[in-house]
Structure 1
Amino acid sequence: MRAVTIDDFGATPTVTETAKPEPGPGEILVRVRASSLNGFDGAVIYGVFKDMLEHKFPITLGKDFAGTVEAVGEGVARAAGERVFGVVMKPVVCEGSFAEYVVVADGYGIAALPEAVDFAQAGALGLAGTAAVDVIDAIAPKAGETVLVSGATGGVGAYAVQLAQATGATVLATAKPGEEADFVRGLGAAHVVDYTGDLTAQVRAIAPEGVTTAVHLVGDPLQLADLLAPGGRIASTLGFGPEAAGDRDITVTSVMANPDTATLERLAGAVADGTMKVSLAQTFPLDAVDRAVGAFGAGTVGKIGISVD
């Protein structure tokens, strides 16, 4: 089968022919139809996690997947042809979803895909959507409160803006004027603050006493912490935890995306009923993943999809 692999840290991703995997007990072989790029993929390429996670080369890149069940191992009740999506969750970084087929475990990191959600949407939903759900659940905004989303134009941020707005809270989203600002307003942001300017002054002009809650996806977490009102809440996907907040009167939660089946079903349901949209900036074929990685690094508005058809 075709797969996008690297044979060392820093190598250019290339399409290679690899053996088609077989599902073992409790596993599912998925015929992948779509995926998307995440920050995790770039981190794997450049060895960011080499001292934290076990890697086995050659590595097939890719975390998100959407497709159909091709075959199942012993003890799995899913049927061939069933539409599924999710996130590849394995203890060793080796077998990813930028491939025609991927084997995943049943029961975690996978969910049924409603007919109302197409493969391209689902392929860009799993990891970023889960991270967004987890950060918004961590800060638990309420109607009438304010949410500052730093990194609003990225994959996680775009979902976070929508989830926060759905709670009835007022969303302040970071974005440059023009296309980025229009993008976040279209997702439900009530205010746009330009992160290339004086962010503190802009936020204080909108919320003089400070914002109630904040989502840290990029930038300086202490700057965001200082923009919180006393008793405010902030969640970070970048390792900012309570110990780093000093004596500030705030609640800090460090979040790691947990793509359990319930969360994936929640995301798919929101896309299916139209309460959340998937914003795909560009889609690249499997043999152009190297160009997709370059586009991701240059910065995009929304997600970058990978088509495996």
Structure 2
Amino acid sequence: MRAVTIDSFGATPALTETAKPAPGPGEILVRVHASSFNGFDGAVVFGVFKDMLEHKFPITLGQDFAGTVEEVGEGVDRAVGDRVFGVVRKPVISDGAFADYLVVAEGYGITAAPAGLDLDQAGALGLAGSAAVGVVEAIAPAAGDTVLVSGATGGVGAYVVQLAAASGARVIATAKPGAETEFVTGLGAAHAVDHTGDLDAQVREIAPEGVAAAVHLAGDPAQLAGLVAAGGRLASTLGFGPEQAEGLPLTVTSVLANPDTATLDGLAAAVVAGTVKVPLGATYGLDSVAEAFGAFGAGTIGKIGISVA
């Protein structure tokens, strides 16, 4: 089967031929239809987690997946042909979704793709969407709260903007003038502020007393913390947590994505209902994943899709 792999840290991802896997007890073989690029994939390539997680080369990249059940192992109730999506979650980084087939365990990181959820969309929903859910749960925005989202034009940020706006919060999103501003306001942001300018002045003009909550997906967390009113909240997906925020008059939470079944089902239902849009931008084929890496590094709006089927 085709798979996009690396054989060492720092290597350029390459399309290779590998053996088709087989499911064991409690496992599912998925025929992958679509995936998407996440910052996690870039971190794997450059060895960011090499001292924290076990890696086994060659590594097939790709965390998000959407496709159909090809085969099931003993103890799995799903039927061949069922539509599924989710996030690869394994103790060793080795198998990924930038491939024709993927084996995943039943029970966590996988759920049914309901009617009305396009598989291309589902392939860009799991990891960024579940991270966004965790972020919004951490800051718990109430109706009328002002929430600052730094990194709003990325995949996680695009979902955070929508979920926070849906809660009734007034969202301030970082975005450059032009296409980025149009993107975030189209997702429900009430204001866009240019992070390449004087961010403090722009935010204070909108919220003179500070914002109720801030989301750190990009930028300087200390600067963002300084824009939160005393007693407010800050959530970060980039490792800024209570230890780093010691002494600050706010509640700080470091968030990791948790793509459990309930979270994935909730995201799927929101997309089907039309309350959440999947922010798919450019889509690349398996033979163009190296280009997708370059595009991600250069900065893109929304999610980068990976078409497999």
SS of alignment partner, residue 244 of structure 1? coil
Shift of 1:246: 2.7
Distance of 1:248 and 1:221 partners within structure 2: 12
Q: Which residue of 2 aligns with 1:259?
A: 259
Partners in 2 of 1:182 and 1:282 — Cα distance?
Answer: 17
2:67 aligned with 1:67: yes
For residues 248 and 97 of structure 2, what CA distance do their matches in structure 1 show? 42
Q: Any residues of structure 2 matched to 1:225-264 within 5 Å, and which? A: 225-264=225-264
Q: Cα deviation per residue 1:4-52 (whole Å; 9 max; x = unaligned)? A: 0001111111111101000011110000000000000000111111111
User: Which whole-Å CA distance do the structure 2 matches of 1:168 and 1:12 have between them?
Assistant: 44
Q: 1:280 Cα deviation (Å)?
A: 1.2
Q: Residue by residue, what CA displacement relative to the aligned partner does 1:77-135 show, whole Å, maximum 9, x if unpaired?
A: 00000000000000000000000000001010001001201111000000000000000
1:199 aligns with 199
Matching of residues 172-183 of structure 1 within 5 Å: 172-183=172-183
Q: Which residue of 1 aligns with 2:302?
A: 302
Q: What's the counterpart of residue 46 of structure 2?
A: 46
Q: With structure 1 as the length reference, what TM-score do the two structures score?
A: 0.99
Secondary structure at the residue paired with 1:232?
strand
Inter-partner Cα distance in structure 2 for 1:242 and 1:11 = 35
SS at match of 1:147: strand
Task: Indicate the SS of the match to 2:208.
Answer: coil
1:22 is aligned to 2:22: yes
Q: What's the offset of the Cα at 1:161?
A: 0.1
CA distance in 2 between partners of 1:297 and 1:121 (Å): 22
Residue aligning to 2:109:
109
State percent identity of aligned pairs: 74
Distance across 1 between alignment mates of 2:244 and 2:89: 29
SS at match of 1:243: coil
Hey, what does 2:3 align to over in structure 1? 3
* SS, match of residue 243 in structure 2: helix
The one-letter amino acid of 2:121's match is Q
Which position in structure 2 is the counterpart of 1:90? 90
Name 1:269's counterpart in structure 2.
269
Q: 2:141 corresponds to which letter in structure 1?
A: P
Q: CA deviation at 1:231?
A: 0.4
Return the alpha-carbon distance in structure 2 between the equivalents of residues 213 and 270 of structure 1.
Answer: 23
Cα separation, 2, equivalents of 1:36 and 1:241: 27
Letter in 2 for 1:76: V
* Paired residues, number: 309
Which range moved further: 28-37 or 46-55? Answer: 46-55
How far off its partner does 1:144 sit? Answer: 0.7
Task: Say whether residues 1:144 and 2:127 are aligned partners.
Answer: no
- Please report how far the alpha carbon of residue 247 of structure 1 lies from its aligned counterpart in structure 2 after TM superposition: 1.5
SS at match of 1:161: helix
- Aligned partners of 1:286 and 1:144: how far apart in 2? 44
Q: Secondary structure at the match of 1:128?
A: helix
Q: In structure 2, what is the Cα distance between the partners aligned to 1:111 and 1:213?
A: 31
Q: In structure 2, what is the Cα distance between the partners aligned to 1:117 and 1:246?
A: 43
Matched residue SS, 1:31: strand
Unaligned regions of 5+ residues in structure 2, if any? Answer: none
- Specify the alignment match of 1:285 in structure 2: 285
Name the aligned partner's letter for residue 3 of structure 1. Answer: A
> Aligned partner of 1:253: which letter?
T
State the distance in 2 between where 1:192 and 1:217 align: 15
Q: Distance in 1 between matches of 2:88 and 2:269?
A: 20
Cα distance in 2 for partners of 1:90, 1:246 equals 33
Counterpart-to-counterpart distance in 2, 1:247 and 1:113: 44
Q: Cα deviation per residue 1:163-198 (whole Å; 9 max; x = unaligned)?
A: 000000000000000000010000000011100000
The alignment partner of 1:156 has SS state of helix
Shift of residue 243, structure 1, vs aligned partner? 1.6
Aligned AA for 2:237?
T
SS in 1 for 2:76: coil
Letter in 2 for 1:43: A
- Matched residues in 1 for 2:295 and 2:66: separation? 22
Q: In structure 1, what residue type is equivalent to 2:174? A: T
Alignment of 1:119-198 (within 5 A): 119-198=119-198
Separation in 2 of the partners of 1:284 and 1:238?
Answer: 26
> Aligned partner of 1:115: which letter?
A
Q: Gaps spanning 5+ residues in structure 1: where?
A: none
TM-score, normalised relative to structure 2: 0.99
